[in-house]
Amino acid sequence: MAVIRAEIRSGSYFDSAVLMQLQRSLALLDGVDDAGVVMGTEENKEILAHIDLVTPEVMASKSDDLVIVVRAADADTALGAIGQVDELLARKKSNVDQEYRPKTLASAAEMLPDASWVLISVAGRFAANVARQALDLGKHVFLFSDNVSVEDEVSLKAKAAEKGLLVMGPDCGTAMISGNGLGFANKIRKGPIGVVAAAGTGLQQVTTRIHQLGSGITHGIGTGGRDLKDPIGAATFLMAMDVLARDPGTKVITLVSKPPAAKIAEKVIRQARKINKPVVINFIARKPSMRRDGNLWFATGMDDAAALAVELANKMPDLSSAPVLPVEKFAAGQKYFRGLFSGGTLAYEAQFLLEDYVGRVWANAPINKENKLKDSLTSEEHSIVDLGEDEFTVGRLHPMMDNEMRIRRLLEESKDPEVAVIMLDVVIGYGSHPDPASELGPAVAKAKAEAEKAGRYLEVVVVATGTDEDPQNLDNQIEQMRAAGAWVSSSNEEVIRYAGSILRALNEKAEDEYIFTPVDLSTLDKELMAINVGLESFAEDLVKQEVPVVHVEWKPPAGGNEKLASILERMKKFS
Amino acid sequence: MAVIRAEIRSGSYFDSAVLMQLQRSLALLDGVDDAGVVMGTEENKEILAHIDLVTPEVMASKSDDLVIVVRAADADTALGAIGQVDELLARKKSNVDQEYRPKTLASAAEMLPDASWVLISVAGRFAANVARQALDLGKHVFLFSDNVSVEDEVSLKAKAAEKGLLVMGPDCGTAMISGNGLGFANKIRKGPIGVVAAAGTGLQQVTTRIHQLGSGITHGIGTGGRDLKDPIGAATFLMAMDVLARDPGTKVITLVSKPPAAKIAEKVIRQARKINKPVVINFIARKPSMRRDGNLWFATGMDDAAALAVELANKMPDLSSAPVLPVEKFAAGQKYFRGLFSGGTLAYEAQFLLEDYVGRVWANAPINKENKLKDSLTSEEHSIVDLGEDEFTVGRLHPMMDNEMRIRRLLEESKDPEVAVIMLDVVIGYGSHPDPASELGPAVAKAKAEAEKAGRYLEVVVVATGTDEDPQNLDNQIEQMRAAGAWVSSSNEEVIRYAGSILRALNEKAEDEYIFTPVDLSTLDKELMAINVGLESFAEDLVKQEVPVVHVEWKPPAGGNEKLASILERMKKFS
């Protein structure tokens, strides 16, 4: 019958690599079944209970107690194992060849003044303070530690924004700066793609896929998985996007995130739109409603994001071909969209896509019942009316054959001073009106002229569906509609993107601007040097990459005894 | 001051093209402001009221009354215009050069016995009966008419399924069979893409985009926009997919639909998966969660659907490379997935994608709160655990550095007789364990061996994240994991697709099979001949396309007087 014995040490601090090694060493001793060496948090005690490694002392331990517990064949063996703990701890040897080990960040910074980066992987409850010291020293922070509070994250990132420094994390697993990996990082080919990720393994997965596809990256900037949540508000993400936007080596930017807060995702997308580079976006669990919108490409997943980024980098798209929006032509108060369709599917797709730009779109045949127009004959706000719906066609020709109802409605909508954009479809082919543009064109010209007389600008946009072999000839129809002043495309999506962009601009509310000091571009490109506080293995990995690094022989204040530490802290204040 | 005069004619029937011409002719008469000629439905009366064209008689008219209303300078002019109605109606001339005009479908069928298709565009309330007659004559039906009841649609499609006939519609705008357009149809190049569409202008938009991209179609089969709703259940859609699956000319199938009912969409996708051709799917307002799943490609919109179809047709993908699923190896009762991740983003993406295959997935870090595991240490049903979450890492190394917790959990999960698939991530690079596969591999082999001893089969799937330049070397890690019996890919999505497909197969409930007589393939390819009932212009357009057509000089029973018609119908039954 196995017995379990435990020892609780209050106020002891070792990094988790040391604890792991100790646990393994204990478990390998003769007669020992299993061993646990962990901090006494509720979660850890549950895990120990789950694997049958608890005693009453273990259950009574506190989150800053070190718990050492052993299950062995008999009590003597168990106690003997525990008796060897100090000896086992002393065996620990370092792989970092460093003559003098500074005890503080400040002295490390004096040893390596050109170090721009501080890696922090101490236990979460101490991490924010170390990060604060690093920022005060003017260093960028790679904050690997998790279990850091949201409040600390907010205050650290506010300080960093002021100083033009990046705080990657907390809980930032990965960063790759100019080919040097911080934390968990892969060896990725250098190339034209820059990545920002609120997603540790997301950054690894996307960049390794980019590498596997034969391309490479400039920088991969992690932000910590919480960066795109409230109340952090993408603080680091936006600074990272900004620096990659300015980085001449970065041709394509890729954004990855764990499931973001919807509003923060919008904020990031709004900012991404202003970048004059292709931006590929994959926010996990946020399904894309379109493939491309201006300089933005929306990926369905991480594979797709990597593939899109490589494809774009290999064949850079022409972003200058984006249509100019006539936003300044509209009068004050013009802000609404009215779609007058003959084709039901075109109307549905328009509703679906337009919602991304303007929010709620009313319709007589809505995708969601809540958006049903009260009266199909009277538009409200943004509205889409399918005039081919059953309600309009009893004993009446379909609007693809007879333009009369649409023309009446077009002239009516154009009188509404709040209307900015009206959309029509012109669907040709057998069965349809023999020359719809000959009737719709003049109506469009008239509607635009009357709006102009009334001191407004009316944009009429048209999707033209047909081919060059149709009896009416597509090009002929397009020419007639353009001659009447309409903006025309044969892609429904393109028309909605154009109209949606205008409406978004007209309806955009002044957002609180996020003010930050831009990160100095040279930070990313100059030789990387770092200070490491916490897991020694991260320093070892930097050494392997030939990155100059100073490892700090860090101990928590008062050796990890938090009660004592807080007394010391208070004494400092009063002294 | 203008005056309005109206005439109501009960029991009159004219097709809507005639009514439109009459309305236009009246409106063009001297002194006439505006005119309306419509059936007296509630909707039509509202429209007339909206444009100031009502009188008390108009408002009192019934839905099978013909309403003729004129607004003119004075009463004499208005009444004079109405007095010319019969003369104007008599002026109507036909463009269909047809010596003898049959009055019934049956006699038309005798005139053109090889006609396989009947186009029906009579008023909705008469359309179902005409369609029923067409099916009884063994003809495929193109049912343009809208305002047909759901009950009629169900019964027509049941009859059609029995006879191996297609009922396209009701409210089917478009079909293109072997280059011949029915209803609203574009002239599309012949090519390798077959399209099925519960979306009239959807079919037009996608096929015209295909044409514009330089490719073409075999057939475009419309089904009516309600086909993918309850209770129709994709009755025509599934038959159309089946015939295109068998059609040797169709290399790629594209499916388009107006917003479908979720369950019916699933049913269609399930069927599409069984087709040994690439299938591109765009169901409007249903955002894709992945780009590809086996033979299925999911498009974000109609443009994207057309582009994908053309791309696939130009460069046919190798569908035979799909992995074989070891479904038959599992013991009864094995049905669950357990994901044990070290990478949070990989875990999130896995949750998101897996839900498409198995429904609810529990997680310790769920995308949606409702899916949170009650106890992170105990899996339920399908579960994904991120062992890198804060709760597991206080004073403990990250699972990318220390495999111990995952190995314990792997061995625990593998003992659960309901578990079929376990997924691990192996994330390498700087910072990570120097050789994770050396520890995870043996654990996988042990788990599989123990399951086998217990009479079960355990599939362990692994996403391996890294590059050939990482210190651990990706290929080396993959080889070790494969040697241990794991199924490995460097794409997270690919692993989930593979695992998801296994789990879907294990959890699939026996669905009610939809039994139908397959449509004879030769129908699509032989010379198209048609009978037209309703709008004469549809016959004219067939003539323009050199399609042999007989137009039926159709009148509703009892001239459209429904009370009389129903008496006649009852008398027939008793005679």
The confidence score (pLDDT) of residue A569 equals 66
The shortest C-alpha distance from B332 to chain A (Å) reads 28
Q: Taking CA atoms, what residue in B is nearest to A543? A: B430
Residues A553-571: tens digit of each pLDDT = 898 876 666 666 666 666 6
The confidence score (pLDDT) of residue A10 equals 86
A382 vs B340: CA distance, rounded Å = 47
Given a contact cutoff of 8 angstroms between Cβ atoms, the answer to whether A236 and A264 are in contact is no
The confidence score (pLDDT) of residue A143 equals 98
B188 vs B204: CA distance, rounded Å = 9
- Residue A376, classed as helix, strand or coil, is coil
Residues of chain A neighbouring B400 (CB-CB closer than 8 A): 173, 184
Using only C-alpha atoms, what is the Rg of chain A? 32
The confidence score (pLDDT) of residue B486 equals 98
Residues A167-222: tens digit of each pLDDT = 999 999 999 999 999 999 999 999 999 999 999 999 999 999 999 999 999 999 99
B284 vs B259: CA distance, rounded Å = 5
Residue A355 reports pLDDT greater than 90: yes
What stretch of H or E contains A190? strand A190-198
The confidence score (pLDDT) of residue B86 equals 87
B471 vs A58: CA distance, rounded Å = 39
Q: Say if domain B174-322 classifies as CATH 3.30.870.10.
A: no
Of residues B124, B431, B467, nearest to A183 (C-beta): B431
Q: Say which residues have a Cβ less than 8 Å from residue A66's Cβ, sequence separation at least 6.
A: A8, A9, A10, A12, A13, A14, A19, A37, A38, A39, A40, B395
The shortest C-alpha distance from B202 to chain A (Å) reads 5
Backbone CA torsion sign across B227, B229, B232, B234: positive
Q: Which residues pair with A372 in a beta bridge?
A: A363
If contacts are CB pairs under 8 Å, which of residues 166-225 in chain B contact chain A?
Answer: 171, 173-174, 181, 183-189, 197, 199-205, 208-209, 211-212, 225
Q: Which residues pair with B280 in a beta bridge?
A: B254, B297
Query: What is the total residue count of chain B?
Result: 575
Cα separation values, B149 from A387, B144, B145, B171, Å: 19, 13, 11, 11
Each domain of chain A, given as residue ranges in start order, spans: 3-91, 99-167+545-575, 172-319, 327-507
Of residues B51, B181, B304, nearest to A429 (C-beta): B181
CATH fit for domain A327-507, picks 3.40.50.300, 3.40.50.261, 3.40.50.150, 3.40.50.1370? 3.40.50.261
Positions of E strands within A244-374: 252-257, 279-283, 292-293, 296-298, 336-341, 362-363
* A260–B contact, CB cutoff 8 A: no
Residues A463-509: tens digit of each pLDDT = 999 999 999 999 999 999 999 999 999 999 999 999 999 999 999 87
Residues of chain B neighbouring A123 (CB-CB closer than 8 A): 394-395
Amino acid identity of B541? D
Residues B493-512: tens digit of each pLDDT = 999 999 999 999 999 877 77
The confidence score (pLDDT) of residue B488 equals 98
CB contact under 8 A, B184 and A397: no
CB contact under 8 A, A184 and B400: yes
Of all residues in chain A, what percent carry a pLDDT higher than 70? 95
CATH fit for domain A3-91, picks 3.30.310, 3.40.50, 3.20.20, 3.30.70? 3.30.70
Q: Which two tokens stand for residue B247?
A: 């059609």
Q: Say which residues have a Cβ less than 8 Å from residue A201's Cβ, sequence separation at least 6.
A: A173, A174, A184, B342, B343, B344, B345, B346, B425, B427, B465
A378 vs A68: CA distance, rounded Å = 75
Residue B564 reports pLDDT greater than 70: no
CB contact under 8 A, B467 and A188: yes
A299 vs A121: CA distance, rounded Å = 32
If contacts are CB pairs under 8 Å, which of residues 81-110 in chain A contact chain B?
Answer: none
Residues A388-445: tens digit of each pLDDT = 998 898 878 899 999 999 999 999 999 999 999 999 999 999 999 999 999 999 999 9
Amino acid identity of A212? Q
Of all residues in chain B, what percent carry a pLDDT higher than 70? 95
Half-sphere exposure of A462 (CA within 13 A, CB side): 28
Of residues A288, A429, A545, nearest to B184 (C-beta): A429
Predicted-complex ipTM score: 0.90
Same fold, A3-91 and A327-507: no
Mean pLDDT of B21-38: 91
* CATH H-level superfamily of B99-171+529-575: NAD(P)-binding Rossmann-like Domain (3.40.50.720)
**Other Cβ atoms within 10 Å of A568 Cβ, number:** 12
Of all residues in chain B, what percent carry a pLDDT higher than 90? 82
Mean pLDDT of A46-57: 92
The confidence score (pLDDT) of residue A234 equals 97
* A428–B contact, CB cutoff 8 A: yes
A333-347, A496-510, B153-167: least confidently modelled range: A496-510
Given a contact cutoff of 8 angstroms between Cβ atoms, the answer to whether A10 and A39 are in contact is no
CATH fit for domain A99-167+545-575, picks 2.40.50.140, 3.30.230.70, 3.40.190.10, 3.40.50.720? 3.40.50.720
Give the rounded distance of the alpha carbon of A436 from its chain centre. 46
The shortest C-alpha distance from A280 to chain B (Å) reads 15
- Neighbour-count burial for A74-90, b at 16+ CB within 10 Å, e otherwise: eeebbebbbeebeebee
- Residue B272, classed as helix, strand or coil, is helix
The confidence score (pLDDT) of residue B468 equals 96
Given a contact cutoff of 8 angstroms between Cβ atoms, the answer to whether B440 and B407 are in contact is yes
Of residues A291, A302, A469, nearest to B187 (C-beta): A469
* CATH H-level superfamily of A172-319: Succinyl-CoA synthetase domains (3.40.50.261)
Closest CA to A551 of A45, A89, A118: A118
The confidence score (pLDDT) of residue B299 equals 96
* B300–A contact, CB cutoff 8 A: yes
A288 vs A271: CA distance, rounded Å = 18
Q: Select from A255, A349, A401, A473 the residue whose CB has the most chain B CBs within 10 Å, as the one to mutate to test that interface.
A: A349
Residue A575 reports pLDDT greater than 60: no
Q: Say which residues have a Cβ less than 8 Å from residue B206's Cβ, sequence separation at least 6.
A: B195, B197, B254, B256, B282, B302, B305, B306, B309
Task: Give the dihedral of Cα atoms B508, B511, B515, B520; nearest 10 deg.
Answer: -30
The shortest C-alpha distance from B544 to chain A (Å) reads 9
The confidence score (pLDDT) of residue A92 equals 64
Residues of chain B neighbouring A367 (CB-CB closer than 8 A): 259, 284-285
Mean pLDDT of A369-391: 96
The confidence score (pLDDT) of residue B36 equals 92
Closest CA to A169 of A201, A135, A146: A146
A115 vs A49: CA distance, rounded Å = 44
Residues of chain B neighbouring A197 (CB-CB closer than 8 A): 345
CB contact under 8 A, A541 and B256: no
The shortest C-alpha distance from A517 to chain B (Å) reads 29
Q: To the nearest whole number, what is the mean pLDDT of chain A?
A: 93
- For residue B170, is the peptide bond before it cis, meaning its omega torsion is within 30 degrees of 0? yes
The confidence score (pLDDT) of residue B555 equals 87
The confidence score (pLDDT) of residue A574 equals 57
Interface contacts A/B by beta carbons within 8 Å: 368
- For residue B471, is the peptide bond before it cis, meaning its omega torsion is within 30 degrees of 0? no
